[in-house]
Amino acid sequence: MPILLLGRIIQTTGCGILLPMLPSLIATILPEKNVGLTKMGDVMLGVALVLALFLTGISFLLGNWQLINIFLIVLSLIIYHNASSIKIDLEISTYNIERVNVVLSSGFMVLIGWIVTLGDQITSNWFSWGLLVIGIGLIATYLWRELSVPNPLIDFKGLFNVRYLRAVLLQGIGDASLVVLMIIGILYLRQGLHYSVIIIGLALMPSIVVMILMHHATKRWFNKFESVNNVRMAMSLMMVGWGCLSLFSTYLNLILFIVLTIIIEAGHGLLMQVGQELSQNQKSARLNNMADIFMAQFKLMSSGMILAILSVVLQNVTNSHTSNGLPGKLSTLVGYRATFSLFFVITILGWIITMLAGRNLNLSKHIVK
């Protein structure tokens, strides 16, 4: 187990280095007209997690769970070899990957670490408070820098309007919805309802397919309606799905779980479609590029933060009910019900925002010096 944990720590260290850089890196390498390809990140995340479950389930069926690790080692070597032969000619530009931006934006990751310590009784209080102070300090410096330096990577002065901020916030909720289903939903099916790993992988595929179709294949249909109405429809679908999941989580079977996740991800897919339209409506191509970068950063960080909060809630509620003498399965389901209910509250807040989404007030004029 110590060696296994060491391997996981090494993996997550690499992941932690890459995640804050990813939006800036893609925006720098891809031409501005193709920056919209970053929207495929949500789809890639969902497909990757489901594929991982499916392959893990197959390795269990074959009687050797280590097969999945061997497969990933071989795949990583192939990708590393191919990546080493790629030659990229970047045009000389004053706008490139800002290392300072990457470091300061990692304050969101530090805050996620602080949230995790809230569920860890071993961590000392001074360490937890230290992470909170450092995280807030990095984020405050990040915002100040983007508002004050010439030619910033993210020009908040130009992006500050209610329409865009609303799109960013709702996209963050939608992205977090997918991540929570892919992580906590998997634990719910495995630990709470006791389905096999390969069945769980198959059960999550329909919702991913529906999300992709709603995002890419329904634009002609929903273009007939106003963006505000589409956003309201999307958030209503998500709210209904999460509401049912929180109310009936102790009574669900696999089929009902699939139906509810399809409803949730249908709303998420429509929300992605509308959010892309709202963010790509800036004053210039340069601002469109910046809008994409910040949208990707925010969705990434907000998803991680919400997942960390729900994980702490799941741990504390489950431990509390276990110590009160409830049987293992019942206490586990109560913990999942608490996490689903909390995310249901988040979708209610998002739905309220969509109900107030009539105006498009430009805030940039109030902060431009």
Interval 16-30: pLDDT, tens: 776 666 666 666 666
Per-residue pLDDT at 242: 95
Per-residue pLDDT at 244: 94
Name the pTM for this structure.
Answer: 0.74
Please list, in sequence order, all residues whose beta carbon lies within 8 angstroms of the beta carbon of residue 5, skipping any fewer than 6 positions away.
Answer: none
Per-residue pLDDT at 361: 46
Please state, in angstroms and rounded to a whole number, the distance separating the CA atoms of residues 179 and 173: 10
Please state, in angstroms and rounded to a whole number, the distance separating the CA atoms of residues 5 and 246: 32
pLDDT bucket at 326, cuts 50 / 70 / 90 = low
Rounded to an integer, the average pLDDT of 75-94 is 65
From the number of C-beta atoms within 10 Å of its C-beta (0-12, 13-18, 19+), residue 7 rates as exposed
Q: Is 151 left (phi over 0), alpha (psi -120 to 50) or beta?
A: left
161 DSSP β-pair partners = 362
Q: How long, in residues, is the chain?
A: 369
In contact, 291 and 164? CB cutoff 8 Å: yes
Mean pLDDT lowest among 91-95, 104-108, 238-242, 252-256: 91-95
Per-residue pLDDT at 288: 72
Residue 174, pLDDT above cutoff 80: yes
Please state, in angstroms and rounded to a whole number, the distance separating the CA atoms of residues 294 and 24: 9
pLDDT tens track for 248-258: 988 888 999 99
Q: What CA–CA distances, in Å, run from 357 to 160, 167, 265, 360?
A: 15, 10, 22, 8
In contact, 340 and 249? CB cutoff 8 Å: yes
